[in-house]
Amino acid sequence: MNNEIDWSKLPFGYLRTDYNVRCEYRDGKWGEIQVSSDENINLHMAATALHYGQEIFEGLKAFRGKDNKIRIFRLKDNARRMRESAEGLLMEPVPEDLFCEMCKKVVKLNERFVPPYGSGASLYIRPLEIGLTARVGVKPAEEFLFLILVTPVGPYFKTGFGCTNICIMRDYDRVAPKGTGRWKVGGNYAASLQAGEHAHELGYSAVLYLDPKEKKYLDECGPANFFAIKNGKYITPASDSILPSVTNKSLMQLARDMGIEVEQRHITVDELDDCTEAAACGTAAVASPVGEIHDLDTGKKYILAPDGKPGPVTTALYNRLNAIRLGEEEDIHGWNTIVE
Ligand code: PLP
Ligand code: COI
């Protein structure tokens, strides 16, 4: 265990760890797994990643459990989504077994950075793939680098599991209607920076994007999916332009397990009037409760938490999810991979 880190005060940021792992695709095949302590990568100045945005990534977490075992949450689901992202950008898909093997390896190598049980922190695993081939013409690369770094993190929003306010703005889109939103592509995040910074300047934690085609339905909430509780049901947007969140999928399952009906469908903005809870959900955000949603174009304010406190359904789902990830509750859906 690393004694220099104050685990309970960790922000969601980058902290150097001991190792990263890498694998290159050259001459039509993936090479050997390399272990590195170098924080830099050597890249050709004409690499497709730099010019034409051939970059995809993933985000998942490892937790130290009550029994001191290390668990990676929903490893295979992230491996699958990384493959889908690669297919979307005409990059070489990382075989799912290789993805899983390398994640387990990099966590094991950096075991001393997995935060202690009870600290509320976790080890964030960030796999990424980039196109290496030098090109000036707009064409996909033929060589790729797959790299995984890890870093211990605390909560994404400073309030932790406390309510924050978010806003709706119609002047920005992060993705196009049939664009790259369903894949985890670096460019989506570049396209979200202006809106995100604008929202932060106005005091909001994130932007609740509307669907980019009609601006009628709710889409995503910054770097997270969105759900709300309406008439006791868990409702979450169905859209071609949002990232299929592994956390959202997990919360939907937990809601069903708790006897809560789940609806994944188009949600109009004015339905927010009838919602009693809302939250942003994702690996980084977990389930971050929303207090108020301000529509900056109409001036309308939707109050989801009149007392400023997280609602009962969001709290129950959050606790259940954490209990499974920390080995406190039986993993009946087989979501955890134990790192031996
Ligand atoms: N949507 C976006 C845009 C994200 O960046 C993330 C984070 O990964 C999510 C949703 C949540 O996905 P997941 O729960 O798989 O982390
Ligand atoms: C995640 O939740 O893993 C994310 O990717 C969000 C983010 C920090 C980009």
DSSP 88-99: HTT-PPPPHHHH
What is the model's pLDDT at position 249?
Answer: 98
Query: Is residue 251 pLDDT above 80, yes or no?
Result: yes
Please check whether the domain covering 164-325 is classified as CATH 3.20.10.10. Answer: yes
CA distances from 60 to 32, 78, 207 (A): 23, 7, 22
The third-level CATH classification (topology) of the domain covering 7-153 is D-amino Acid Aminotransferase; Chain A, domain 1 (3.30.470)
Nearest alpha carbon to residue 2 among 105, 106, 109, 110: 110
- Residues whose CB falls within 8 Å of the CB of residue 2, separated by 6 or more in sequence, listed in order: 112, 113
What is the model's pLDDT at position 4?
Answer: 85
Nearest CA to ligand 2 atom 3: 59
What is the model's pLDDT at position 3?
Answer: 72
Give the other-Cβ count within 10 Å of 113's Cβ.
Answer: 22
- One-letter amino acid for residue 243 of the chain: L
| Start and end residues for every CATH 3.20.10.10 domain found in the chain | 164-325
Query: Is residue 160 pLDDT above 90, yes or no?
Result: no
Name the residue of 103, 156, 157 whose CB sits within 8 Å of the most ligand 2 atoms, as the mutation to test its pocket: 156
Binning pLDDT at 50, 70 and 90, where does residue 110 land? very high
Q: Is the CB of 282 under 6 A from ligand 2?
A: yes
Question: d(Cα 328, Cα 158) in Å, to the nearest integer?
Answer: 25
Rounded mean pLDDT, 9-27: 97
Binning pLDDT at 50, 70 and 90, where does residue 149 land? very high
Nearest CA to ligand 1 atom 5: 223
CA angle 302, 308, 310 (to 5 degrees): 95
Q: What are phi and psi of 118, to 5 degrees?
A: 95, -10
What is the model's pLDDT at position 90?
Answer: 98
Query: Is residue 105 pLDDT above 90, yes or no?
Result: yes
Query: Is residue 1 pLDDT above 80, yes or no?
Result: no
pTM (global) more than 0.85: yes
Query: For 313-340, how does the pLDDT look when each residue is reduced to its tens digit (9 = 90+)?
Result: 999 999 999 999 999 999 999 999 999 9
CA angle 264, 265, 270 (to 5 degrees): 120
Query: For 252-273, how does the pLDDT look when each residue is reduced to its tens digit (9 = 90+)?
Result: 999 999 999 999 999 999 999 9
Query: Is residue 158 pLDDT above 90, yes or no?
Result: no
Percent of the chain with pLDDT over 90: 96
Rounded mean pLDDT, 18-22: 98
Please tell me whether residue 290 adopts helix, strand or coil conformation: strand
Q: Is the CB of 284 under 6 A from ligand 2?
A: yes
Nearest CA to ligand 1 atom 6: 224
Nearest CA to ligand 1 atom 3: 223
* CB of 128 closer than 8 Å to CB of 56: yes
Beta bridge mates, 230: 233, 275
CA distances from 15 to 53, 105, 110, 113 (A): 25, 19, 12, 10
Query: For 63-81, how does the pLDDT look when each residue is reduced to its tens digit (9 = 90+)?
Result: 999 999 999 999 999 999 9
What is the model's pLDDT at position 123?
Answer: 98
Rounded mean pLDDT, 13-23: 98
Number of continuous H segments (helices) and E segments (strands) in the chain: 7, 18
Q: Is the CB of 20 under 6 A from ligand 2?
A: no
Burial 66-84 (b: 16+ CB within 10 A, else e): eeeebbbbbbbbbbbbbbe
What is the model's pLDDT at position 157?
Answer: 80
Q: Is the CB of 127 under 6 A from ligand 2?
A: no
* CB of 257 closer than 8 Å to CB of 289: no
Rounded mean pLDDT, 145-154: 98
- Continuous segment of H or E residues that includes residue 339: strand 336-339
Let me know if 31 is exposed, middle or buried by CB neighbors in 10 A (0-12, 13-18, 19+): exposed
What is the model's pLDDT at position 330?
Answer: 97
Return mean pLDDT, the chain.
97
What is the model's pLDDT at position 173?
Answer: 95
Atom of ligand 2 nearest to the CA of 60: 3
What is the model's pLDDT at position 156?
Answer: 85
Question: d(Cα 80, Cα 60) in Å, to the nearest integer?
Answer: 13
Q: Is the CB of 283 under 6 A from ligand 2?
A: yes
Nearest alpha carbon to residue 22 among 104, 102, 110: 102
| Start and end residues for every CATH 3.30.470.10 domain found in the chain | 7-153
Nearest alpha carbon to residue 264 among 231, 234, 229: 234
What is the model's pLDDT at position 23?
Answer: 98
